[in-house]
């Protein structure tokens, strides 16, 4: 359904990623008309999927992990009717593998948080008893440190913080670094300890289910995108893909009108910009700098890449749904044959994830595939008997911003110097790393601010 010809929407949302979709859906749920424009031919931003031609399997543009503490994301999925497309673990259960053949499981106990996680950590067989007890120092720090206000904590890297808490090398390599790289997407030597503490507190110090993994059973488009687009179109809102913003006209402290690439000019009452930091200048050019100084903050971010290797084999050798690999350049392996509801005859369909992949990103795809196969051989010796049928490498060079020490100082607020312009995106001041949850949280916050501005 389209807006009536000549009718301006209440709100223009620029960008159809998770933050833009979340803002648009929440506004539409309250009877506010929305026009959402997305420059690509599909919505989803960095969270979309497509069909692999050779196998017919769904492929995500990159593997994303979600947890029970993703409250805004789960609220969004509930609104768009997508909860049936995921499952949530009853209790956290994660397999860790080492190249020596060790298989270890971190499984939370049947107790209220944080006792449930403490129970799991003290039973983690990859660490000695003394090393497990040293984990309690981290637990104590999580009880008392405030990552939003503690300037000392904000000045530390994850590595420095763990050293201050006297964490042995094994604790870092076999637990903390896996979590840090997976959630912050860069080396513990450079990323912010404050954000890491925020992640750990969100997952381990809240409700019992917050630490559980959320398992998608369809591609990311099916989980996060399709239902949102259907929701918007069923509520007299419009989604235009293949449409970009050519120019924004400012009048005083208002973004008055927007010229679209289609040639249409729209004059919404409010605008939500939900584009990545690296695209902001394309929409709000240099001439808008004085009216919109927040735009300059986007130039300060450093991107961090993710590489995902998709491999199809002629026989099964991976027993678990997903596993973390210890001491490997490949951080996680997901068994898509077990996780996805829709299967197309693939015997073993795996996705291998390399986060913070700056040292890998420029390698040839054949070399990256060879690396993935080699690492599988180290951790799954039976893979040597499996023949590779198909492979695909997806490089996301600007998958996230690198949340380095000091980054918080230039993450922009959701409000701007233009009264009717609001910023959404995982890179804005969410107090979270660049995750699906950060994007969803920013979308809901922008919806709240827009409604306040519109008195709606």
Q: Give the C-alpha distances (Å, rounded to integers) separating 353 from 61, 66, 178, 259, 335.
A: 11, 14, 12, 40, 12
256 and 189 together in one domain: no
How far apart CA 230 and CA 432 sit, in angstroms, is: 29
Last residue of a domain, one of 156, 179, 209: 209
Give me the number of domains the chain comprises. 2
200 and 235 together in one domain: no
Considering the entire predicted model, what is its pTM? 0.94
113 and 201 together in one domain: yes
Mention every residue, 6+ apart, whose C-beta is less than 8 A from residue 208. 91, 108, 111, 112, 113, 116
CATH number for the domain harbouring residue 277? 3.50.50.60
Contact yes or no for 275/38 (Cβ under 8 A): no
Confidence label for 288 from pLDDT (cuts 50, 70 and 90): confident
Contact yes or no for 52/390 (Cβ under 8 A): yes
How far apart CA 348 and CA 266 sit, in angstroms, is: 49
Residue 277 lies in a domain: yes
Residue 343 lies in a domain: no
Residue 356 lies in a domain: no
Percent of the chain with pLDDT over 70: 98
Last residue of a domain, one of 209, 228, 254: 209
How far apart CA 20 and CA 274 sit, in angstroms, is: 5
Nearest C-alpha neighbor of 216 from the set 331, 29, 74:
74
The pLDDT assigned to 204 comes to 94
Residue 68 lies in a domain: no
The pLDDT assigned to 3 comes to 47
> Average pLDDT for residues 335-347, to the nearest whole number?
84
pLDDT at residue 41 is higher than 60: yes
Note the pLDDT tens digit of each residue in 368-417: 999 999 999 999 999 999 999 999 999 999 999 999 999 999 999 999 99
Helix (H/G/I), strand (E/B), else coil: 91: coil
The DSSP string of 258-306 is EEETTS-EE--SEEEE---GGGHHHHS-GGGTTT-GGGGGGGG--EEEE
Nearest C-alpha neighbor of 221 from the set 371, 64, 99, 70:
64
Element (H, E) at 161: helix 158-164
237 and 198 together in one domain: no
257 and 193 together in one domain: no
291 and 425 together in one domain: yes
Contact yes or no for 393/426 (Cβ under 8 A): no
Last residue of a domain, one of 183, 209, 235: 209
Residue 363 lies in a domain: no
150 and 189 together in one domain: yes
Note the pLDDT tens digit of each residue in 77-99: 999 999 999 999 999 999 999 99
Confidence label for 284 from pLDDT (cuts 50, 70 and 90): confident
Average pLDDT for the chain: 94
Q: Give the C-alpha distances (Å, rounded to integers) separating 443 from 85, 146, 166, 183.
A: 21, 24, 39, 20
Q: Which residue has the higher pLDDT, 65 or 22?
A: 22
The pLDDT assigned to 5 comes to 47
pLDDT at residue 243 is higher than 50: yes
pLDDT at residue 256 is higher than 50: yes
128 and 36 together in one domain: no
Neighbour-count burial for 32-47, b at 16+ CB within 10 Å, e otherwise: bbbbbbbbeebbbbbb
The pLDDT assigned to 37 comes to 98
Q: Give the C-alpha distances (Å, rounded to integers) separating 275 from 21, 44, 442.
A: 11, 11, 12
Element (H, E) at 158: helix 158-164
38 and 175 together in one domain: no
Is the alpha carbon torsion for 448, 451, 455, 456 positive or negative?
Answer: negative
Contact yes or no for 160/193 (Cβ under 8 A): yes
pLDDT at residue 453 is higher than 70: yes
Confidence label for 6 from pLDDT (cuts 50, 70 and 90): low
> Average pLDDT for residues 340-349, to the nearest whole number?
81
Note the pLDDT tens digit of each residue in 173-225: 999 999 999 999 999 999 999 999 999 999 999 999 999 999 999 999 999 99
Residue 419 lies in a domain: yes
For strand 332-335 and strand 58-60, is the pairing parallel, antiparallel, or unpaired?
A: unpaired
Confidence label for 291 from pLDDT (cuts 50, 70 and 90): confident
143 and 232 together in one domain: no
262 and 119 together in one domain: no
Peptide bond preceding 114 in cis form (omega within 30 of 0) = yes
Residue 450 lies in a domain: yes
293 and 425 together in one domain: yes
Mention every residue, 6+ apart, whose C-beta is less than 8 A from residue 431. 147, 148, 198
Q: Which residue has the higher pLDDT, 296 or 131?
A: 131
- Which residue range forms the structural domain that includes residue 196? 107-209
Residue 372 lies in a domain: no
Note the pLDDT tens digit of each residue in 103-141: 999 999 999 999 999 999 999 988 999 999 999 999 999
């Amino acid at each position: 359904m389209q807006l009536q010809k000549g009718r301006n929407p209440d709100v223009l949302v620029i960008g159809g990623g998770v933050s833009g979709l979340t803002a648009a859906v929440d506004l539409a749920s309250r009877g506010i008309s929305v026009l959402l424009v997305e420059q690509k031919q599909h919505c989803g931003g960095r969270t979309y999927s497509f069909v692999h031609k050779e196998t017919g399997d769904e492929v995500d543009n990159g593997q994303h992990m979600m947890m029970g503490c993703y409250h805004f994301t789960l609220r969004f999925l509930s609104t768009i009717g997508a909860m049936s497309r995921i499952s949530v673990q009853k209790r956290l259960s994660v397999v860790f593998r080492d190249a020596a053949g060790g298989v270890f499981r971190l499984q939370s106990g049947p107790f209220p948080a944080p006792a449930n996680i403490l129970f799991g950590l003290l039973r983690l067989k990859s660490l000695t008893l003394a090393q497990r007890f040293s984990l309690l120092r981290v637990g104590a720090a999580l009880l008392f440190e405030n990552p939003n206000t503690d300037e000392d904590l904000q000045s530390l890297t994850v590595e420095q913080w763990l050293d201050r808490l006297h964490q042995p090398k094994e604790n870092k390599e076999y637990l903390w670094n896996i979590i840090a790289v997976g959630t912050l997407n860069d080396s513990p030597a450079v990323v912010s300890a404050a954000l890491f503490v925020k992640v750990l507190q969100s997952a381990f110090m809240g409700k019992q289910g917050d630490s559980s993994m959320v398992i998608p059973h369809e591609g990311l488009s099916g989980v996060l995108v399709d239902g949102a687009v259907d929701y918007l179109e069923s509520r007299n809102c419009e989604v235009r893909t293949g449409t970009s913003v050519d120019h924004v006209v400012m009048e005083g402290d208002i973004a008055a009108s927007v010229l679209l690439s289609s040639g249409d000019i729209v004059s919404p009452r409010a605008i939500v910009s939900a584009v990545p930091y690296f695209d902001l200048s394309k929409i709000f050019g240099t001439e808008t700098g004085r009216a919109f100084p927040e735009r300059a903050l986007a130039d300060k971010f450093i991107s961090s890449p993710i590489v995902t290797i998709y491999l199809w084999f002629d026989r099964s050798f991976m027993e678990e749904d997903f596993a973390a690999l210890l001491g490997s350049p490949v951080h996680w392996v997901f068994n898509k044959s077990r996780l996805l509801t829709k299967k197309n005859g693939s015997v073993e369909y795996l996705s291998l994830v390399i986060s913070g992949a700056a040292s890998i990103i420029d390698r040839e795809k054949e070399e990256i595939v060879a690396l993935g196969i080699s690492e599988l051989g180290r951790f799954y010796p039976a893979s040597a008997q499996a023949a590779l049928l198909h492979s695909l490498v997806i490089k996301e060079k600007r998958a996230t911003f690198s949340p380095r020490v000091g980054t918080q100082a230039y993450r922009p607020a959701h409000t701007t110097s233009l009264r009717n312009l609001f910023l959404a995106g995982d890179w804005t001041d969410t107090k979270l790393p660049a995750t699906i949850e950060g994007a969803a949280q920013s979308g809901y916050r922008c919806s709240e601010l827009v409604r306040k501005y519109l008195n709606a």
